Chains A and B, each alone.
Chain A
Amino acid sequence: KAGVTQTPRYLIKTRGQQVTLSCSPISGHRSVSWYQQTPGQGLQFLFEYFSETQRNKGNFPGRFSGRQFSNSRSEMNVSTLELGDSALYLCASSLGGLRGVTDTQYFGPGTRLTVL
């Protein structure tokens, strides 16, 4: 099976712009979770989508949003970029049924976002 794919791998944006990141889960996986990884804050949970519905959300401002499509592919959007949004954005997919609490999450390679 193909793994989780994320596009693009690298992005450079300037403050105030917006950005959209894409994630394609493993075939058959219906849950997609997004994480932000920075040297200072580590790995922080952004949100999770299952069957096109956001089931859980982390403690991030409303500038961070996401969506999931009927084929389980997911996108996240960050509007009005700030310098502090520079990070590695990771998505993870899992089966997701029955709340998915025992599921293993499989991660993509990440999108490295640099905000200048």
Chain B
Amino acid sequence: AQSVAQPEDQVNVAEGNPLTVKCTYSVSGNPYLFWYVQYPNRGLQFLLKYITGDNLVKGSYGFEAEFNKSQTSFHLKKPSALVSDSALYFCAVRDSGGTTDSWGKLQFGAGTQVVVTP
């Protein structure tokens, strides 16, 4: 079975400060990890993904994420937050284990609300 935990319901940060959104995962095989962002009354927008290779993944809008296998984590980071980054962020995992349970399915965390204040 695959699962994702986002331990913080909300993260508050001042504009210009670094932003980190935490994510830990559990899978039986190798993880494929994704970050999405959702603005009010909108669908999910893809930010970045880790499949294999370099542990530091760069994505859209200045976001990056670091894959840490030993800590089973995939934290999202941005060096300097903007007010426009205020949104709901979702981490998701898909297990490479090869069972049909992972086909076409992303397992999402509960989401972290990011609030960036001017």
Contact = CB atoms under 8 A, between A and B. Distances in A.
Interface of A: 4, 6, 31, 33, 35, 42-43, 45, 47-50, 55-56, 58, 90, 92, 94, 96, 99-102, 104-110, 112
Contacts of B108: 35, 42-43
A50 B104 CA distance: 9
Given A42-B108, A42-B111, A43-B90, A104 B46 contact: yes
Contacts, number: 72
Nearest to B90: A43
B3 interface: no
Interface centre among B36, B44, B100 (most CB of A within 10 A): B44
A94 B90 CA distance: 18
B32 A102 contact: yes
B104 A90 contact: no
A58 B34 CA distance: 20
A101 B43 contact: no
The 10 closest A-B pairs by CB, nearest first: A48-B104, A107-B43, A43-B108, A107-B44, A56-B103, A109-B43, A45-B105, A33-B104, A55-B103, A102-B51
